[in-house]
A and B are shown apart, each in its own frame.
Chain A
Amino acid sequence: MKRSLITILLIFALTIAVQGIFNIGFAGEDEEDADYPTELIVFTQPVKAVVFDHKYHIEEAGMDCDSCHDDTFEQAAGTAEENGDFTMKSLYEGKYCGACHDGDSAFASNTKCAVCHIGVIGYNKMHNIEGGEGGGHH
């Protein structure tokens, strides 16, 4: 009886300990602690819609804030879209995303279109809007 009680207590203690280690080990990657916006940036001008993921560019591509801010992109969201020259043509000239997406540092802006372009379908999915693919009638 006593022995089984000790066993249960032991397991209990062990569980808590493991959990603690787990938490410490992964605290660095906790999204709430990230020093960059964790939500996707969605551009809707001049076409709907293009996504930018801060997380991917920092964690996977090894960039930091200085890489783009405030030189290539203003920190305030939406500034690029208001500038009026946030176009594919500008990108090909090395502005905005084109600063890296030139086929050298990252895949060229005139390739792999649908990696960044999620379209109206993608935008609607993101915002739970029905009818992204038009109403098929039978």
Chain B
Amino acid sequence: MKIDDLEKLKNEGPDTLPSKERRKFLKWGLAVTGVFAGGAVLSLTSAKNVQGALEGIKLKKYPYKPHYCMIIRQDRCVDCEKCKEACVKTNNVPEYGYRTTILEREIPIGPDEKQREFMPVLCNHCNHPPCVRVCPTRATYKDEKTGIVMMDYKKCIGCKTCMAACPYNARYFNEEKRAIDKCNFCFDTRLSKGEKLTACAAACPADVRIFGDLSDPESRVYKLIHEPDRVVWVLRPETGAMPNVYYTKG
């Protein structure tokens, strides 16, 4: 679907989808999750529309306090993977899974000319998280205060439905925990201990990952997202999940 067409669509949100549509969505999610080449997961939305992508209505204020979010300044990423290393170390992530990773693609920049581009991905901590909606045991939930999509490992039965529902391929089954594991913005390992940044954001040498509180007008994330001329986009806005990981360049 073209971006123009997408923008014309009314955002119905995931709650009102009929079950047939929902099934189609899940099937589609399974088919394209993790496929980055060809732009299947990338859709553009201008900064003006970010709030629209966030809530579909004119927001008076952001729904959480602090409203944690991350901005990824995509063109600065060089795939050094120091973020991945820091994440693995901080959150004890096994070799077979990831909480965050880097994708690569080549974008055409001219006739027979291509340019490499890297794209960090992680859990988008959606305002309407499809993973939370499908979890049969409520093991995964949206934290009421911070908006972080969290896991209660004890409640998880490992059915992997959330993995299938996630539009961002941000979940893996942790064999040691016998539960699904995912990014929680380092809530247990750093934020709750007074750190201001996630491990990945702190480790990035190129200042790609900007982390902070979107509800605080003084924060870097707030200022970046609300720069009038800055183009900001989210991945797969058409799912209606209203993600909190934003992408921009420059």
A-side interface residues, number (CB < 8 Å): 19
Contact B172 A118 (CB under 8 A): no
Contact A120 B115 (CB under 8 A): no
Known: A121-B102, A133-B104. A115 touches B116 (CB 8 A): yes
Known: A113-B75, A120-B81, A121-B79. A133 touches B117 (CB 8 A): no
Q: How far is the CB of A114 from chain B (nearest CB, A)?
A: 4
Main secondary structure of the interface of B (DSSP, over half): mixed
Q: How far is the CB of B29 from chain A (nearest CB, A)?
A: 11
Residues of chain A lying within 8 A (CB to CB) of residue B172: 135, 137
Most A C-beta atoms less than 10 A away, residue of B84, B104, B172, B206:
B104
Contact B30 A119 (CB under 8 A): no
CB of B76 within 8 A of chain A?
A: yes
Contact B206 A113 (CB under 8 A): yes
CB of A62 within 8 A of chain B?
A: no
Contact A115 B96 (CB under 8 A): no
Q: How far is the CB of A36 from chain B (nearest CB, A)?
A: 24
Residues of chain A lying within 8 A (CB to CB) of residue B82: 47
B residues neighboring A (CB under 8 Å)? 30, 33-34, 75-82, 84, 95-98, 101-104, 115-118, 163-164, 169, 172-173, 205-206
Q: List 14 A-B contacts (CB under 8 A).
A: A47-B80, A47-B82, A113-B76, A114-B79, A114-B117, A119-B118, A121-B79, A121-B102, A121-B104, A122-B104, A135-B96, A135-B172, A136-B169, A137-B97
A residues neighboring B (CB under 8 Å)? 46-48, 112-115, 117-122, 133-138
